[in-house]
Chains A and B, each alone.
Chain A
Amino acid sequence: MTIDWWTLGLQTLNVMILLGLLQHFFWKPVAAMIAQRKALADKTVADRSALDRQAAQAEADAAKTRGGFAAERAALLTEAELEAGRARDTLLAQARTEAAAFQTAAKAAVQAGQDAARRAWSDRSNELGVEIAGRLVARLDGDTVQAAFLDWLVAAIAALPDQARKALADHAIALSVVGTTPLTEAAQAQATSRIGAAFGYRPQIAYTTDPALIAGLELHAPHLAVSNSWRADLADILESLGHDQRH
């Protein structure tokens, strides 16, 4: 067995040339096409992945937006509740204030009504008292009443301070006696006598009448007045009653 070196060399060269031919016309273009398809597939997968991510992001954004809506709704509800609470408190405070004002005004009105009624009843009572007293006085014996009131007047003069009586006596001041009915001459003389005894001098006395006294006998001087009538008594009683009611 021998080896043909020419054949060996040519075959070596042939295989090398074939290697170049196949590299250029087969391996390289086919592999490039495979790589191109793979790149396209990878791009498609990447695009799909990107779309999936975008979809997931959009879904997350939508969920976040929905969550924002819920949070905003809750915030609005909370704010509305707070606002309603504040408005309710304000209205309640105003209502309380107005009710208190109404109550105060009502109380004042009631009090005023009561006062007015009391005054009316008081006035009416006065009138009634005066009327009753007048009727009662009318049924009494006029001389006896006059004598009684003269006694009370003398006692009141006696109760005056000595200086007051002395001042009148020293100046011989004229006096005025007011009765409800005119006094007779005798009665006037008796009254002048007793009043003069009480003062310690013989004064000049003018006798007048005033039916408003109801009943009584009053003494008036320039700087002195002795109230001795039922009118004065009723006035004192009313004043004392009014003082008790005020307190």
Chain B
Amino acid sequence: MKSPLASLPLFHIGPVPITEPVAATWAIMAVLGIGCFAATRRLSLAPSGLQAAMEMLVETIDSQIRDTMAVAPAPYRAFIGTLFVYVFVANWCTLVPGVEPPTGHIETDAALALLVFLAVIWFGIRAVGLRGYLASFAVPSPVMIPINFIESISRIFSLMVRLFGNVMSGVFMVSIVLSLAGLLVPLPLMALDLLTGAIQAYIFAILAAVFIASVVGDGGTKPMPATQGTAP
């Protein structure tokens, strides 16, 4: 019997198995890449509706980064924003019939968590240097080094499990209800699943920002500019 948690390969490229989450991610990448390319080709000072929506999205993410990290948002905008957009779009893949959200598979969530783990290290070292980053584990005292180290791992693990559990459970519940009831009965659950997916995307991005801010802010981050601008 097939496990719902298993990622079965759709096909192989050489020795590499291409599973459904990877294919779905490629599709998401293609849609987002082409869509963004098309949408941002003719940006103007007098924005269209689509451009206004895109700018609102950027402004909102910048605002969240400023509120969460208390730093200038430009260096972190792409990473935090991409996490949010990808997780959001991936969670909402259930709107496409026959497509399961990539985030409903542990590998995708693990990949996202791994990227957050690496980003924390990268941004931390870039902001406060290697010594400052390592010193952040000794806060408030060196006794806390093991605990802080375990925390840096566990929080990434919890990040992964949280996203995986919420999305996967939603998919399971919709599948179970769909198998037991009629066609329209799972609709409220699907709507709830979409809401959960949006919230999880927001939570994932905000937690990533919090984790990065925990190391960036400890070592004396650059102060946020007085202006709340969105310099690239």
Contact = CB atoms under 8 A, between A and B. Distances in A.
Report if A and B associate in a common complex. Answer: yes
Interface of A: 1-12, 14-19, 21-23, 25-38, 40
Contacts of A33: 43-45, 47, 51, 55
Given A4-B17, A11-B21, A22-B78, A16 B115 contact: yes
Contacts, number: 136
Given A18-B86, A35-B230, A37-B45, 5 more contacts: A4-B7, A4-B107, A15-B86, A22-B85, A33-B51
B5 A31 contact: no
B114 A27 contact: no
Contacts of B78: 19, 22-23, 27-28
Contacts of B115: 12, 15-16
Given A21-B33, A22-B82, A31-B77, A14 B231 contact: no
Given A4-B107, A12-B111, A17 B29 contact: yes
Interface of B: 3, 5-7, 16-19, 21-22, 25-26, 28-29, 32-33, 36-37, 39-40, 43-45, 47, 51, 54-55, 57-59, 62, 74, 77-79, 81-83, 85-86, 102, 105-108, 110-112, 114-115, 229-232
Contacts of A37: 45
Q: Max chain B CB contacts within 10 Å: which of A17, A22, A27, A36?
A: A27
A70 B32 CA distance: 73
A2 B6 CA distance: 7
B107 A7 contact: yes
B81 A6 contact: no
Contact of B230 (A4, A10, A31): A31
A34 B83 CA distance: 21
Contacts of A40: 45
Contacts of B74: 31
Contact of A7 (B17, B57, B59, B231): B17
Contacts of B77: 27, 31
B231 A31 contact: yes
Contact of B54 (A7, A8, A26): A26
Contacts of B55: 30, 33-34
A29 B62 CA distance: 14
Contact of B107 (A3, A23, A28, A29): A3
A17 B106 CA distance: 19
A25 B43 CA distance: 11
Contacts of A35: 229-232
A15 B232 contact: no
